[in-house]
Structure 1
Amino acid sequence: MAKIGFIGMGNMGHAILKGALKEYPAEEMIFCAKTSETKTKVHAETGVEYTDNNAECANRCKYLVLAVKPQFYEEVLKEIRYMVTPEHVLISLAPGKTIDQLKQNLGNDKRIVRVMPNTPAMIGEGMTGVSVKQGELSGEEMDEIKKLFDACGKTEFIEERLMDAVVCASGSSPAFVYQFIEALADSAVRYGMPRKQAYVFAAQAVKGAAAMVLETGEHPAVLKDQVCSPAGTTIEGVAALEEYGLRNAVLKASEAVYNRCTKI
């Protein structure tokens, strides 16, 4: 029997599978995807075996990663309901789907982990929030969950009540950052820089700034102040961002994300 199974091979399921290959041999994993084309492609790329249907995938693993879109959850849960046992650890990636809601579908004796990764997991730079009911998993199982998602980047265990906030902070926010990088690049192009170079300068600046926050442990405001010389160029730009509402725009975007999560 495989250790880890995956149902769904979209961007996120594929990213986590590829990350897992850094820590687990292909023989310890199995997956199922919606189309034969996807199954064949992923198998050729990774060497991981696939199954003909979701129920078989669930039956042949212990840790089952459910990487399907929320609108398909009901259908998939019906297919695997009688294959998931109390010995399984079901790992749900769906925003807005609580552990209790999933237990209502599968049974209160089922062990469910709620997870929110993000797309940078595709290159091993993801951020994943993990929530599990206290006492449901052994220490060894908790370590296994962390091992799986650490292979895709960084992992933090949090209370489930904060999971929608994780969607705001890291689940959806890469899209906001991409918009910011695009805008920075546009500004450089506006003043004569070739677009290809502009994307490199802008993206590396964002990457470096993020690394400074993580590696120094300094408050972002302190790091910002270090760049802002008195009467200098940067403080003028910061003042313009404040005038035109950067903070408010980010807060409003996160509010929209949070509200959507609560309605799924």
Structure 2
Amino acid sequence: MKVIDDEKHELHPMSLMAVVLSIASLALVTATLFLNKNEPTFHIFLAIDTFICLIFWCQLLFDLSRSSSKSAYLKQHWPDFIASIPAIEPLRFMRILQVLRVFRLLRSSKQIYFQMINNRRETTLASIFLLLTVLITIGATSILFVEGQVENANIHTAGDALWWVFVTISTVGYGDYYPVTTLGRIIAIGIIICGVGLFGMVAGLISSVISDPQHEKAQQEKEHRKEWREMLANQQVLLARLERLEAKLDQQSQTENKNQQRQKSPTKQS
């Protein structure tokens, strides 16, 4: 497993995904403050927020396992762990710290581009989690809004909507819940198409891992070569500083010798 730098890991694809989901989670929690707890939309937002919290914990534990200094990582990110506890929505506002921390590091778009290019598999995995969360949120909310008030519909509760959207994304199609309105069927078509594309990304990621077992080793060798180049560059800088320091000491020694000779010359003349 590749060890990541404790400062630069904030710009890795999984961390950037967590920032986007943090903003989404804050929006969901803010929306629940204005909803009645008996409304189906409230339960959908609560379930989606819990799902996002599980993604947060996966991302935090993943970065912790790759961190070069785990104690430093925990010291810096303990608010993120607390903010990711499910079913306690007010704690989610602590994730503003992570959002601000990442925005502070985003000095230019080139940093994000290089991180995504150098971590393509992680970028794909982050995109899968992000798209899955978006599909669940939009699909469950929209289908409940469209079908919830129709008399002959069979999707009336938040649980029905969430079960339907998961089954539709996976393209399993049990048939126990289905839309009956035209708009609901249009939403289902969009969810199915996106679900097929999402699982295509999953299949591509798995096949790339299986077909290229030497990828991780090549990446590690590349990182080692980069570290060696940085060490050689630092050694050259140190050698240059030592040479300058040695030249300066020689100059000071020559100056002191000249001063001593000048002091001795009047003494010999007297």
Smaller-chain TM-score range? under 0.3
Larger relative contact order (C-alpha < 8 A, sep ≥ 6)?
2
Quick check: which one's helix share is greater?
2
Quick check: which one's strand share is greater?
1
| Higher Rg of the two aligned structures | 2
Q: TM-score, normalised by structure 2?
A: 0.27
